[in-house]
Structure 1
Amino acid sequence: MRVKQIERKDGWRSWTIVWPEGTVHMEADRFLRLHDGSGTQRTYAYLLVDHLRWLERECLAFAAVQIMTGYHDPALLHSWPGLAVMAGCVAIVLTAAFLTFRKRDA
């Protein structure tokens, strides 16, 4: 199983996953077509082929697992939500440390 680059008639490139005999992996292709023309399609293809190889190694059926993506909320893929969560955690830890040391030093 491998990632294959497809040259389209309009000059753009797309990516899909093919079996060793050269046939297209239909489920993976259906997922990758959702991202056709985006800069992330190639990245998704390589991540997906690794996932499919893992399924093959673990003898799991494709229908037995679910691929979770941030596709329905692309904002989750940006750095700001992670930064906000980290800032919140830091604020909580610093507040707990302040209260602990204040109580100890009183």
Structure 2
Amino acid sequence: MWHNQLGLQDALNRAGELIEQRVQDYLVAKAQVPSFGPRLDHEVSRYIQGIEYCIQACIDWSFMNTRYFGANAAKVKEDRVVELDPQMKFGGMAKVNHEMIKTATIG
């Protein structure tokens, strides 16, 4: 969100807003799926449920390994606060005061 001149927390907040809007759009679209008859409706429903399971599995996986949240994944999942590495570079922002960027809230 550098192009929108947002700080890290504001960028995370904006990303959360965009995700929430996509979820709402999905729920509206899901409610508008037409009927194709009892047999096909069941198959369409199973397909949609499979997509939902896949998305949830990706989320669950991100908390089951150390790739994204390190050894603190369970804590991050619970309190939704990510401790940031002060050595991390943020998208080319060369003049970031890393002492000010210690935590970010997700979601």
Identify the structure with bigger relative contact order (alpha carbons < 8 Å, sequence gap 6+): 2
* TM-score, length basis structure 1: 0.27
Structure showing greater Rg: 1
* TM-score, length basis structure 2: 0.26
